[in-house]
Amino acid sequence: MGKEITRRYRVIIEPDEDGVFIATVPSLPGVVDQGETEEEALENIKEALDFTLTDMIERGEEIPPSDAGRGVVREVELAV
């Protein structure tokens, strides 16, 4: 196996209507997981991301570059 490269990916964690936390990776839209807490969702998405990237490498697919630090995430609050 080749040399390992450390990559960082942005993860978004949001509660759904049932109070479960859903974690997504914008750079890899198919990578989604959940947890009862934000921390559990983060741990679960890390496992799902590791599985996905390992599978992509084994199949010879190009994996997306790190996206951490690109762009800005902000919340906006409006009274309408």
Q: Is the pLDDT of residue 1 over 60?
A: no
pLDDT tens by residue, 21-58: 999 999 899 999 999 999 999 999 999 999 999 999 99
Can you spell out the DSSP letters for 11-70? -EEEE-TTS-EEEE-TTSTT-EEEESSHHHHHHHHHHHHHHHHHHHHHTTPPPPPP-TTS
What are the domain boundaries of the chain? 1-80
Using CA atoms, how far apart are residues 4 and 44, in angstroms rounded to an integer? 21
What's the CATH code, domain 1-80? 3.30.160.250
Instruction: State the DSSP code for 71.
Output: S
